[in-house]
Amino acid sequence: MHRRRCRSAILAVGMIASLFVPTVVTAPPAVAAPSGSKKVIVQLFEWNWPSVAAECQSTLGPKGYGYVQVSPPQEHVRGSQWWLAYQPVSYRIESRKGTRAQFQSMVNTCHAAGVKVIVDAVINHMSGQDAGGTGWAGSSYGHYDYPGNYQSQDFHYCGRNGNNDIANYGDRYEVQNCELVNLADLKTESDYVRGRIAAYLNDLLSLGVDGFRMDASKHMPAADIAAIKARLSRPAYIVQEVIHGAGEPIQPTEYTGNGDVHEFRYGKDLARVFRSERLAYLSNFGTGWGHLPSGPAAVFVDNHDTQRDTGGVLTYRDRGIYALANAFMLAWPYGSPTVMSSYTFSNRDQGPPSDGNNKTLNTTCYSGWECEHRWPVIANMVGFRNATEGAGVSNWYDNGNNHIAFSRTGKGYLTVNDEDQAITGRSYSTGLPAGRYCDVIHGTFSNGSCSGPLITVDANGWFTANVPPHDAIAIHTNARL
């Protein structure tokens, strides 16, 4: 029988509990997987541009994050809900998150800090407002009329279900030609529409953007995305949102020729294992579980959509167990990881902290903003990921239940104890060079010193340590004293 631990045990105050919050042309080549030596992406969901810029300087660059994924920057409908940013009314870079000039300044600042910028690009559809209105930057629009961009002939009208909405995800035509919750569905097979979308993406590239998260990619044929990509002015990292559905005709594997694809099963499977199964099952996590191949897989514990689905994934509310799951993701060499950074919400539609005009406020971490990417366990494991890039897994150990350990061969070592009791007196075979290492789960390595406990690896590559319940130890060669 699988052990089902009680929630009080998960949230018990242990060593890790103090670590949540610190005190048609030739297509450009596919950029499959983030490039460079720093590949971890952080999704600063709904942060405004001045706050993203400041975070690149203060935290993302110094902690080794390679990319920041920002929310949609184009003009959108007015209102307070988070999803209004996914209802564009024009391609002007003017939104509740800031102006075009602020966006440009943010990109420049992040680049200066060594952080690349990925834009969440909404290209499948326009707004879902039947009555139309005036967008954030003053552009007038109708449901199927966007002056200077699109008119009625540029949209799909599938003629199904009484309202053109998608009802049957088992029908490929319906999923890619009907409307996603009333959002006006663009004819992405149209040469004109492809040109307008490409012009928007190229405008962002001209501002220095390094890549795109293609929102709602499942609702566009992979060939349409390829045709739009072929019009880009230079290579860019591409990651596509394609949610796997068992038995559905549209599968994530169709899109890997265009770039990376989000592997939504990853976060759900990881949550199930941490909540109610055994960490020992993770010895072949990823491809061995029927997930996408590691190369094009973009993975996350949660994102802005899944954290709003009841019980499906771990989120900031899970505190310690969430930190451990992120530590595992950053240590395990499958896929390209994205760390989520949220704001606090109490209902599914709630938008980010805003002023009376719904303009997004500057981010103040731990006051309305969760800032999970700053939690020491998560932030320090970004350095572990960078240090172990390219190394395989060796020295796997598990106790058949919820204590696991493994090496990233010659570069790092992680042990996770998610049992309800401490693991004491054990020795661990790391395969690492002898020396004293900073335990980056509990301390930060900086300027040759460690703010937390040290782990001593002997001449044979072993160390001995006690691991409290629901806690971990991680060491790597870039944090060796």
- CA separation for the pair 463, 95 (Å, rounded): 53
* Separation of alpha carbons 317 and 320, rounded Å: 9
> Residue 127, CB half-sphere, CA atoms under 13 Å: how many?
30
| Buried b / exposed e along 211-230 (16+ C-beta atoms within 10 A) | bbbbbbbbbbbbebbbbbbe
Per CATH, the homologous superfamily of domain 393-479 is: Golgi alpha-mannosidase II (2.60.40.1180)
Query: 99: which DSSP letter?
Result: -
CA–CA separation, 229 and 211 (whole Å): 11
CA 332 vs CA 49, 389, 419: distances in Å: 31, 10, 20
Spatial contact of 184 and 154, defined as CB atoms under 8 Å apart: no
Beta strand 211-214 pairing with 140-141:
unpaired
Q: What is the CA radius of gyration of the chain?
A: 23
For residue 122, what pLDDT is reported? 98
pLDDT, one tens digit per residue, over 407-439 is: 999 999 999 999 999 999 999 999 999 999 999
What DSSP string describes 333-367?
-SSEEEEEE-B--SSTT---SB-TT-PBPPP-BTT
Q: How far, in Å, CA of 96 to CA of 85, rounded? A: 8
Which residues make beta-bridge pairs with 217? none
Tokens 């070592």, residue located: 413
Report d(CA 341, CA 304) in Å as an integer: 9
Q: Which long-range contacts (CB under 8 A, 24 or more apart) does 269-273 make?
A: 270/301, 270/313, 270/314, 270/325, 270/328, 270/329, 271/301, 271/312, 271/313, 271/314, 271/325
Please state, in angstroms and as integers, the Cα–Cα distance from residue 432 to each residue in 390, 394, 413, 461, following that order.
Answer: 15, 11, 8, 5
Q: Tokens standing for 54?
A: 């400041």
**Cα gap 48→289, rounded to integer Å:** 37
CA distance 178 to 158: 5
pLDDT of residue 16: 52
Q: Where are the alpha helices (DSSP H) in 277-411?
A: 320-331, 376-387
Q: Residue 425, Cβ neighbours under 10 Å: how many?
A: 8
Structure tokens at 235: 């290579």
Q: Does domain 20-387 have CATH number 3.20.20.80?
A: yes
Q: What is the pLDDT of residue 30?
A: 47
Please tell me the predicted confidence (pLDDT) of residue 26: 42
Q: What is the pLDDT of residue 311?
A: 73
Q: pTM of the predicted model, to two decimals?
A: 0.94
Residue that has been written with the tokens 């990292």 in this structure: 237
Catalytic entry in 46, 241, 260, 439: 241
Please enumerate in sequence order all residues whose Cβ is within 8 A of that of 385, keeping only pairs 6 or more positions apart, or say none.
Answer: 39, 40, 64, 330, 331, 337
Tell me if 228 sits within 8 A of 240, measured CB to CB.
Answer: no
From 46, 215, 419, 439, active-site residue: 215
**254's tokens:** 């169709």
Q: Is 349 an active-site residue? A: no
How many angstroms from the chain centroid is the CA of residue 173?
Answer: 29
Q: What number of helices (H) and strands (E) belong to the chain?
A: 10, 20
The domain ranges of the chain are 20-387, 393-479
Instruction: Please indicate whether residue 215 is annotated as part of the active site.
Output: yes
CA 251/CA 268 separation, integer angstroms: 17
Taking the C-alpha atoms of residue 206 and residue 255, their distance in angstroms, rounded to an integer, is 26
Crossing angle between the packed helical segments 320-331 and 264-276, to the nearest 10 degrees: 130
Q: What is the pLDDT of residue 13?
A: 31
pLDDT beneath 70, residues of the chain: 1-33
